Amino acid sequence: MKIKSIISSLFILLLVNSASFAQAIDGSQLWFTNQQHSAKVRTAIPTIVCIQEESATFQIIKEELAESIPALGIGEVSFTQKTAKNIVLVGTLKSKAIASQLNEDELTKLGNDGFIIRRSKGEGTILIAANTEFGTLYGVYEFLRLIKTSSSDLAEIDRIEIPSYHRRVLNHWDNLDGTVERGYAGHSIWKWDELPSTISPRYEAYARANASIGINGAVLNNVNANPDILTKDYLEKVKVIAGIFRPYGIKVYLSVNFSSPKELGGLENSDPLNDQVKAWWNDKADEIYSMIPDFGGFLVKANSEGLPGPQDYGRTHADGANMLADALAPHGGIVMWRAFVYNPDGDDRAKQAYKEFVPLDGQFRKNVIIQLKNGPIDFQPREPFSPMFGAMKYTTLMPEFQITQEYLGFSDHLVFLSTLFEECLNTDTYAEGPNTTIARITDGEVFNDSITAIAGVANIGEDTNWCGHHFAQSNWYAFGRLAWNNKLSSAEIANEWLKQTFTQDADFVAQMQTVMLQSREAVVDYMTPIGLHHLMGWSHHHGPEPWCEIPGARPDWLPTYYHKADSAGIGFDRSTTGSEAVLQYAEPLRSIYDNISTCPEMYLLWFHHLSWDYILHNGNTLWDELCYKYSSGVDRVKVFQQTWDRMEGKIDVQRFKDVQARLAIQATEAMWWRDACLLYFQTFSGKPIPMELERPVHVLEKLKQIKFDMTHHN
Ligand code: GCW
């Protein structure tokens, strides 16, 4: 008997393994690819599931359990409404079985989305309970994640999770014509021309993937918004998507063009203080909510990069945001108003958003959230944090991260962005004394905001594997996990993603976790080390062009504005002897950044213009250190390639080959970056590349002639 069961479990294991090897795995299943887990866990999980509630969401819960539990080799699931010993008991207080186990207080504390997973010592039954059906769904996804990734036998579980942010939102920069701004995974997944009648299966797969990591909102269209999105025709299409998302707890939001009343409504202007304009927005909000009662709200890019906004009428960002907020408030909607503003003839670009927004602190309605990029410039491989975090004490701020790799090698480079997000969230702003981290400023801990939110610019397209690079899926995953729990570490996130996406093989997980955790630092080193930034090519933003000159172009769109290399040295002086951007930071950061000897070296050339001979803490001259950094970035990518090659046979052939091919591109492009930057900066420094380093393999004049062809990336 015993032997028989061992043999049958071995057989199941073989089946699971051979399935993953024989079947071509194309990445379309995201982190649901790997249905394996340690044998230890298998014995401890009950297969009888008691659910006493019914709804579309509970139906999804049942389907998830019915699919995963057998696939994990635990056994066929049976559902019951009766309680018994040794079951998985799932639900809210509406379920009598749950109500008999938990009191109301315990559950109301969890808010809308939190959950409890509990199995007391010596008990067979596992309880998954929440205040709402969505909380229950999140609990079930966490339960499945635990089975797939935990090293514990789950004999005892006691987890209470409440998400860090209320609104955990993906921003799609998807245009209505199907293209995706800064998208590197093919065209948009939203098929506007087929909707509302034809429904792509991707919509539900997308909702499921998001719900599984706690994302509960999606802005469907580009912040460079086409007014047409608010026409009746488009709203009919949006309504269909919203209907698919609803049982997964995902709200739909739209980016709106501030000129919509004029462009769409035929009004004379779109002045936020004009009563007709207000009435137009009120009517539009009524119309939207009559079709989509749980609509999330608007995202707005205004008076930014040429887009219309309230300043066109001499009004402020607060006037504009509040008008929209008033239209949405009766329906419970919010306005996410972006602070990404800078003017070509303004002050240092890094200072401008702060100068425009901080004086407006206290003037925004409660349902307005200012959406702020992590850094003061623009999603560079590394930036110091935006000094607006902490500076607006009466205004809710939400971080905006870029998941799509506009400046980090598109979908060709393996870069795990979790460490970038984590670095930003954990940064102490000192705005209210020590331990005023960006995480605590934005999640309501410091300022007690009534609505909290976080956004990530999606890297999703119609490519089979959704994100172009198989490892780019980990950035979508990491964003969701950090939005859920901004205290998670990137190491934990990488570990659980690898196990669910590829294999449980301990060697694979350990080695690739190391690669992932080093990958962002590698890209910083081979693109923009020591605080350099914005060295990329014009408009497409791919590849190095530190020399780029475009006659008549906005200076703040050109690399020379940022690196300021000359024979004396390199870097942007933002100290008190320069643009004084340091003054926007709270003490002691202001002084730390201002002083060359205390400024962290990773931000040195962000805040200071230094001579090529400047001696760094490790004794190297600035020039030599630049050479070492660029070289070490390249070297690391070569090590990533070797590590990956050693993984052959541990995972399916298709994904192995795909990643291998992209790593080769990354290595080639890392050398391109290294050579372009060093050879160009060398024309100013006049210094040799240290002898022990690999020589450039490119010729500067040839690199300058490269014309990047965007078509291959769409
Ligand atoms: O990073 C820049 C991008 C633009 C983008 C803009 C923004 C959507 O190059 O493509 O526009 O930021 O964030 O609004």
Please report the pLDDT score of residue 13 as a whole number. Answer: 42
Distance 76 CA to ligand 1 centre (A): 49
CA distances from 406 to 415, 441, 560 (A): 12, 27, 19
Lookup: tokens for 375: 């850094």
- Ligand 1 atom closest to 378 (CA): 1
CA distances from 246 to 24, 57, 60, 418, 695 (A): 32, 9, 11, 28, 57
Q: Helices 133-149 and 201-213 meet at what angle, rounded to 10? A: 80
Distance 685 CA to ligand 1 centre (A): 33
Please report the pLDDT score of residue 2 as a whole number. Answer: 39
- Indicate whether residue 458 lines ligand 1 (CB < 6 A): no
Q: Which of 114, 111, 88 is nearest to 101 (CA)?
A: 88
Active site residues: 305, 378, 406
Lookup: tokens for 48: 């009888």
Distance 373 CA to ligand 1 centre (A): 11
- Indicate whether residue 179 lines ligand 1 (CB < 6 A): no
- Report the relative pairing of strands 569-570 and 115-119 from DSSP bridges: unpaired
- Ligand 1 atom closest to 379 (CA): 1
Tell me the C-alpha distance between 114 and 102, whole Å.
14
- Ligand 1 atom closest to 224 (CA): 8
Lookup: tokens for 482: 């950090």
Q: Residues 357, 302, 346, CA angle at the centre, nearest 5°?
A: 55
Letter for the amino acid at 629? K
Tell me the C-alpha distance between 66 and 70, whole Å.
7
Distance 593 CA to ligand 1 centre (A): 27
234 φ, ψ (degrees, to nearest 5): -70, -40
- Indicate whether residue 340 lines ligand 1 (CB < 6 A): yes
- Indicate whether residue 181 lines ligand 1 (CB < 6 A): yes
- Ligand 1 atom closest to 541 (CA): 9
- Indicate whether residue 280 lines ligand 1 (CB < 6 A): no
Q: Which of 173, 167, 176, 175 is nearest to 210 (CA)?
A: 167
- Indicate whether residue 206 lines ligand 1 (CB < 6 A): no
Please report the pLDDT score of residue 9 as a whole number. Answer: 42
Please report the pLDDT score of residue 642 as a whole number. Answer: 98
Q: Which of 413, 475, 480 is nearest to 670 (CA)?
A: 413
Lookup: tokens for 569: 């040295």
Cβ count near 491 (within 10 Å): 15
The residue to mutate among 172, 181, 404, having the most atoms of ligand 1 within 8 angstroms of its beta carbon, is 181
Please report the pLDDT score of residue 42 as a whole number. Answer: 66
- Computed on alpha carbons and rounded to an integer, the radius of gyration of the chain in Å comes to 26
- Indicate whether residue 301 lines ligand 1 (CB < 6 A): yes
CA distances from 108 to 25, 32, 179, 527, 614 (A): 42, 31, 43, 48, 59
Mean pLDDT by 10-residue block, N- to C-terminus, for the chain (714 residues)? 39 42 80 79 87 98 96 94 96 96 91 96 95 98 94 91 98 98 98 98 98 99 98 98 98 98 98 98 98 99 97 98 98 98 92 98 98 98 98 98 98 98 98 97 94 98 98 99 98 97 96 98 98 95 95 93 98 98 98 98 98 98 98 98 98 97 98 98 98 98 83 44
- Indicate whether residue 349 lines ligand 1 (CB < 6 A): no
Contact 361, 372 (CB under 8 A): no
Nearest CA to ligand 1 atom 1: 378
Please report the pLDDT score of residue 20 as a whole number. Answer: 45
Please report the pLDDT score of residue 39 as a whole number. Answer: 67
- Indicate whether residue 192 lines ligand 1 (CB < 6 A): no
Distance 714 CA to ligand 1 centre (A): 17
Question: How are strands ordered across the β-sheet holding 126-130?
Answer: 78-80, 48-51, 88-91, 126-130, 115-119, 157-161
- Give the single-character DSSP code of 297: E
Tell me the C-alpha distance between 544 and 64, whole Å.
45
Distance 349 CA to ligand 1 centre (A): 14
Q: Which of 119, 50, 34, 44 is nearest to 74 (CA)?
A: 44
pTM to 2 decimals? 0.96
Sign, CA dihedral 636-638-642-644, equals: positive
- Ligand 1 atom closest to 222 (CA): 8
Nearest CA to ligand 1 atom 3: 182
Q: Does the bond joining 384 to the residue before it have cis omega, within 30 degrees of 0?
A: no
Contact 453, 165 (CB under 8 A): yes
- Indicate whether residue 614 lines ligand 1 (CB < 6 A): no
β-pair partners for 256: 300
Contact 354, 579 (CB under 8 A): no
Distance 572 CA to ligand 1 centre (A): 22
Q: Which of 101, 99, 41 is nearest to 75 (CA)?
A: 41
Please report the pLDDT score of residue 5 as a whole number. Answer: 41
- Give the single-character DSSP code of 544: B
Please report the pLDDT score of residue 345 as a whole number. Answer: 79
Tell me the C-alpha distance between 27 and 538, whole Å.
32
Letter for the amino acid at 173? W
List, in sequence order, the alpha helices (H) in 174-256: 201-213, 232-245
CA distances from 266 to 260, 269, 276, 315 (A): 9, 8, 11, 21
β-pair partners for 556: none
Tell me the C-alpha distance between 489 and 391, whole Å.
26
Contact 72, 46 (CB under 8 A): no
Nearest CA to ligand 1 atom 11: 224
